[in-house]
Structure 1
Amino acid sequence: MIRTIETVAVVGAGYMGGGIAQSLASVGIRVVIADVSAEATAANYARLLREADEFEAQGLFPEGAAAAVRANLSAADTIEEAVRTVDFIEEAVPEIPAIKQAVYERISKAARTDAIIGTNTSTLPVHTLAPYVSHPERFLTVHFSNPAPFIPGVELVCGAETNPAVIPVIKEMLSRAKRCSAQVADTPGFVLNRLQYVLLKEAATIVEAGIATPRDVDTIVRSTFGFRLPFFGPFAIADMAGLDVYVNGFKTVEDAFGPRMAAPELLKTLVSEGKYGTKNGEGFYGKFTPEQVAQLVAYRNKAYAGMARLMEELGPSVYDDPLMS
């Protein structure tokens, strides 16, 4: 099993795969890209170099990142040429199983048998794709988010046959690229898109019921709980708000909208045990000392004030234009 990833091939060099390639090349990892044809690969390669220059000029990449991309990124004429000698292969082709199957068959025939193979699929379970990969013990999901150069979170998903030893190797590579990763179970949609789809579905239900417009829903989301999400996830937010408060709130919405809005058992169990979150020292995250709560409150206040300043500095987006329908 590979212990350290030094060379990478990204198969599928569009905006998603290209962004992954930029992210890794910019921190000194040697990356080769390949697309559906040599012409498509060459066009994407030129775009990625141009974008890297633009990102650095705009202050979006640190100084020297564009030069690092130029030094470490290369293009191959074929998938086989790209994957032949590398330590890690990231597949980023369209979310169509038949296309992925054809790509995996080509990769499996050409790559080293010890090369780790990742898929950037956002919804397809590993167990539905693993049969197309030779030596499936080295296959897993390594799911970046779009735009890959700027979003740090990566989902890692093992299949039934995945060797757990690949996880620390991938995590170490992601750490060098200043990415944070979380390992989740092999289920459709994983965590990221399952949560995103639920939020969009409920938002659409609200609009369909005439409760608010899409613009007003988005304003509420981004300026309230969405404002918190860059710093804390839903469990941490609930811990700080008070789990008993959440249970009472769920009772109100359950009465209005039925069992689908009932309080989750995990939450009710904690409250029944007298665990209300930071307010009394124990919640989803376990126990808190008074000193930890004070540190958390100070961090939270600083983070939210900093976010407010950032939003003011950035100014409104196109979506904020009242003339946009």
Structure 2
Amino acid sequence: MTSHIAVIGGGLMGRGIALALGDGGYRVSVVEPVAGIAAQVEVMAHPRIALRELDDAVSDCELVIEAVSEDVEVKLALWRRIDELAASSTLFATNTSSIDIDELAGALDDPSRLLGLHWFNPAVIVPCVEVVVGARTSEETVVAASALMAAVGKEPIQVRSAPGFVANRLQFALFREALLCLEEGLASPEDIDRIVRTSFGPRLARFGPLLSADLGGLDTYLAILNYLSTHLGARFDPPRILERMVGDGRLGAKSSGGLRELDPAEYAELSAGMADLLAEAYRVEDAASEPRA
């Protein structure tokens, strides 16, 4: 197990990452030069977390996680300095949610050491960590970083580096469409949120968008996208992969396969269990939505 990790940046995400790592049994050094933010790190008062200067924190750690502001030049300057201070065996990770990993890796003598570890707020609670692999990230770096995330109870999920990675592309597509529904006067902000919470939201949380489509029927999804595209424009144009799969007769649960590589028996089992899973999810949502006395 990695014994010491440096988290560079003590803001909201940096503090959450430090807490998750500290709770996971690691000794964590947080580097934060801004006094007001550093004071918030000290308030955490975690036995495994301490504030340190950059030189001290980076020189003896096995992993550096950079969690500073989303400013390319700030990050590049910081990575150049870290590269000078860290041992040659130290793993490097950035918590960027949007910046190309390869651009940041260009600041290093050995770009194979850098990948993205994209945590989600609140980092101490949310399981997913996107392990973002750049064009020059080594397999050894990916394996070691993924193992560390799993060791602290996270769910490391490997993705290729691209703008927005995967999670932000998905959630911001929904956010944009929600704003358009509001702009067009289709519903109030409260009701748009309520529609998501009490309709497809719990289903997506349990199954994800692709398995949900397989269970619903890819031909149905294609027909809906074609209708929306006709009336609302190119943003709803069906992707070629969906047209190709429907053309090949791969419709999901109603055929021999779909987007997921599952056989008919596996689809049937998932479909049979969906009602119970969703009934429980909606009961939880109803309880959470009840006004407090």
TM range (shorter): over 0.9
Superposed, which structure 2 residues align to 1:1-325 within 5 Å? 4-37=1-34, 39-40=35-36, 42-49=38-45, 70-76=46-52, 78-290=53-265, 292-316=266-290
| SS of residue in 1 equivalent to 2:230 | helix
* 1:228-253 deviation line (CA, Å, top 9, x unaligned): 12211111010011111111112211
How far apart are 1:146 and its partner, in Å? 1.0
TM score, norm. by length of structure 2: 0.92
Partner of 1:53: none
The one-letter code of the counterpart of 1:47 is V
Question: CA, structure 1 residues 206+108, in 2 after alignment: closer, same or farther (shift >3 Å)?
Answer: same
The one-letter code of the counterpart of 1:48 is M
Q: What percent identity do the matched residue pairs reach? A: 33
Q: Distance in 2 between matches of 1:22 and 1:298?
A: 39
The one-letter code of the counterpart of 1:229 is L
Q: 2:93·2:114 contact (CA, 8 Å) conserved in 1?
A: yes
Partner of 1:52: none
Q: 1:41·1:75 contact (CA, 8 Å) conserved in 2?
A: no
Q: 1:34·1:41 contact (CA, 8 Å) conserved in 2?
A: no
Q: 2:255·2:264 contact (CA, 8 Å) conserved in 1?
A: no
* 1:61-85 deviation line (CA, Å, top 9, x unaligned): xxxxxxxxx3322221x11111111
Q: 2:198·2:285 contact (CA, 8 Å) conserved in 1?
A: no
Count of residue pairs the alignment pairs up:
292
| SS of residue in 1 equivalent to 2:106 | helix
RMSD of aligned residue pairs (Cα, Å): 1.9
TM score, norm. by length of structure 1: 0.84
Q: 2:32·2:51 contact (CA, 8 Å) conserved in 1?
A: no
Q: Distance in 2 between matches of 1:316 and 1:94?
A: 37
Question: CA, structure 1 residues 89+256, in 2 after alignment: closer, same or farther (shift >3 Å)?
Answer: same
* 1:92-118 deviation line (CA, Å, top 9, x unaligned): 000011221232122112111110010
Q: 1:142·1:157 contact (CA, 8 Å) conserved in 2?
A: yes
Q: 1:127·1:160 contact (CA, 8 Å) conserved in 2?
A: yes
The one-letter code of the counterpart of 1:24 is L
How far apart are 1:41 and its partner, in Å? 6.5
How far apart are 1:167 and its partner, in Å? 0.9
Q: 2:42·2:51 contact (CA, 8 Å) conserved in 1?
A: no
Partner of 1:65: none
